[in-house]
Amino acid sequence: MPSPPDDTTARRIRHAFQQAATVLGVAADGAEERWGWESRSLSGPVAGNQWLRLLTAPVQRTRGGSWDGPQAAENAVPDTVPRPRLHAAHEWASEEHRYRAELYDRIRGIALSDGPLPPAGLRLPDAWWNSLQVSLSELSATGTDRVAIRQERLDWAMPQFLGPGVATEAPAWTTAHADIQWSNLAGPDLLVLDWERWGRAPAGYDQATLYISSLTDPEVAERVQQAFAPVLDSPAGRFSQLVVASEFLQGMQRGNNLELEGPLRRRVSLLLDSPGRSRG
């Protein structure tokens, strides 16, 4: 779980969190707080069985994209996709930082992991997997002009981290959550968390993300394969596995998820060595 930032940054963000609670008319006692990746968010419970999340970023980095993703998801994603519902939002800015406060239902379950990879011993009921299958299928058919993954990034990242000659043109594009890894899924009843990135992505990207991030646990990876075999085994799904692999390999240069490296490189070799697949 991410740690708090330095004292000066933490004081600034905690003060903004209390400001947000006041504006939105909820009481926050500070008894529980959860910091997001690189201290870009601070979340915690508030009165009324709700959850307050505060996003912060330098002013010049907060237009469109992930900044307004949750609000766009609330407006466009079908109600049948289980997720915490967004009830209110408030934005403001100082000279250097912009803030966005979002008030959600407090979820009944828990996030399944503190990071992208599955925790030891993770096992989930069939009903959970069935719900995820339906949710990703419905999401893929949701219309949006948001873009989660750009072709230009594929053209740069895939040769950079997978080697020259790898095919970079996606066979198809659909709508994706674009961050379906284990810290963004809750149980025992499915909830899909963190809708900052969602938008158009290579077809099969969500299923590929969950599969690649599960390779550290062969039983979990096999269960993902069983649930999403028609997608993962298709040309688009195999391509998306390579897209996700290139992203994880890039992160490993910064020391992230190093325990995944061995099984990930073995999977990449299998995908690239398949006759007629994945080479330009």
Are residues 46 and 126 located together in one domain of the fold? no
Contact 205, 197 (CB under 8 A): no
The domain boundary, picked from 56, 76, 105, lies at 105
Are residues 140 and 261 located together in one domain of the fold? yes
Separation CA 235–CA 232 (nearest Å): 8
CATH number of the domain at 88, please. 3.30.200
Question: Looking at residue 278, what is its pLDDT?
Answer: 54
Residue range 44-87, pLDDT digits in tens: 999 888 999 999 999 876 555 678 899 999 999 999 999 999 99
Contact 216, 263 (CB under 8 A): yes
Are residues 220 and 126 located together in one domain of the fold? yes
Domain that holds residue 162: 110-273
Question: Looking at residue 39, what is its pLDDT?
Answer: 82
Residue range 15-52, pLDDT digits in tens: 999 999 999 999 987 778 888 877 888 999 998 889 99
CATH number of the domain at 171, please. 3.90.1200
Residue 1 lies inside a defined structural domain of this protein: no
Measured between alpha carbons, how far is residue 164 from residues 32, 161, 244 in Å? 48, 9, 17
Residue closest to 237 by CA, chosen among 262, 218, 212 = 212
Residues 6+ apart with CB under 8 A from 185: 111, 112, 132, 191, 192, 193
